[in-house]
Amino acid sequence: MKSLFLLVLGNTEVSLIPGISVAGATPELTKYTPPADAEYLFYDKPKIIDAIPVTPEGHPTPAIITKAARELANFPILVVRGGTYLAPKVPHVHISSIVGRDFRREPALPEAGEIIERAKLLGQELERSGIEELVIGESTPGGTTTAQAILWALGYEGKTSSASPNNPQELKRRVIEEGFRRAGIEFGGLKGNSLEALRQFGDPMMATVVGLSLGFKGDVVLAGGTQMLAVAAILKGLGEDLSRFMIATTRWVVEDKSATFIKTAREIGIISYAADLDFSKSEFKGLRDYEKGYVKEGVGAGGATWLAVKAGFSPEDVVRKVEELYRKLIS
């Protein structure tokens, strides 16, 4: 089966709220995370900034897993700029440069319809190109908060995960409730109106993945954790049959007790795969800490591992390659 890995980049102002996102060393640096993740897949280092994205405590971006899986399985990658502050300095499909707004103050993405339409065109062309399976990863700092807002607006009681072992659920709840007040809705208030939920609380990554999924009619692997639950919920709300969709994520997301991945996936009705990656034996603290709940997923790490496994490699092979890449990075 001919598979294509898409990396969809998105930003939302929500990542600038202190304490919401650790997908960058500081809130301001989360603006660089999506393009830097994309660039690192193609080069030894990002181009837009001199180092790979890290958490405030220095844990490396999950792009290192995606890069490792790709170096093993050699699958094709197409970067898609759904909507970011900065363009990556690698070839990428431009969908928009629209960043999701802080939904506490205003609708997050009034342009959702236009972004979906454009991404749908791209999905159609990929379908015509003979691609049979899209594996769609993402890099979207702050994206678990927009995802949880979407789930709640659509009436799912799910909790999204976090790149931090201390999932800021209390802060997320307050931010979302403030957004709901601004929009004048309550929990479940946009059930049956997915598109409006996306406009009010979404981010450009979600709109892009929705559009791609509508345009492309083959198999779609949503490669991400709880953020992809929100995408799946929107697709279901739009009347898509989810039987051609799967979420591929990592064990770390599935095992996250502060989130409800399996329960919510079941509620939505989408099957999932969890890459059995284990960093506990790593010689590097930055990687060993994944086992303590740092980072967990992103940049389609689980989906990339899925592609490597389909190509005959084991999760252990991926882990070994990650180790090798990390050694190279810090030497």
What are the residues binding a copy of itself (CB under 8 A)? Answer: 2, 4, 42, 74-78, 81, 87, 90-95, 118-119, 121-122, 125-131
C-alpha 101/C-alpha 142 separation (Å) is: 11
**Nearest approach, Cβ of residue 103 and a copy of itself (Å):** 26
Residue of 215, 33, 223, 228 whose CA lies nearest to 150: 228
**Nearest approach, Cβ of residue 79 and a copy of itself (Å):** 9
Q: Which CB, 104 or 118, lies closer to a copy of itself?
A: 118
Q: Which residue has the tokens 């790149």?
A: 163
**Nearest approach, Cβ of residue 195 and a copy of itself (Å):** 20
Q: Which CB, 21 or 96, lies closer to a copy of itself?
A: 96
**Nearest approach, Cβ of residue 205 and a copy of itself (Å):** 15
E runs forming strands in 77-121:
77-83, 92-94
Q: Which CB, 190 or 307, lies closer to a copy of itself?
A: 307
C-alpha 173/C-alpha 259 separation (Å) is: 13
Q: Which CB, 119 or 318, lies closer to a copy of itself?
A: 119
Backbone φ and ψ of 83, nearest 5°: 170, 105
Non-local (6+) Cβ contacts of 133 within 8 A are 1, 2, 3, 4, 218, 219, 220, 221
315's tokens? 């999760």
Q: By the 8 A CB rule, do 206 and 146 touch?
A: yes
230 C-beta neighbours (distance < 10 Å), count: 37
Q: Which CB, 115 or 163, lies closer to a copy of itself?
A: 115
Buried b (16+ CB within 10 A) or exposed e, 39-70: bbbbeeebebbeebbbbeeebbbbbbbbbbbb
- The SS3 of residue 79 is strand
C-alpha 199/C-alpha 202 separation (Å) is: 6
Q: Which CB, 31 or 92, lies closer to a copy of itself?
A: 92
Q: Which CB, 120 or 172, lies closer to a copy of itself?
A: 120
**Nearest approach, Cβ of residue 272 and a copy of itself (Å):** 26
**Nearest approach, Cβ of residue 313 and a copy of itself (Å):** 16
**Nearest approach, Cβ of residue 140 and a copy of itself (Å):** 19
Q: Which CB, 87 or 195, lies closer to a copy of itself?
A: 87
C-alpha 60/C-alpha 65 separation (Å) is: 10
**Nearest approach, Cβ of residue 104 and a copy of itself (Å):** 31
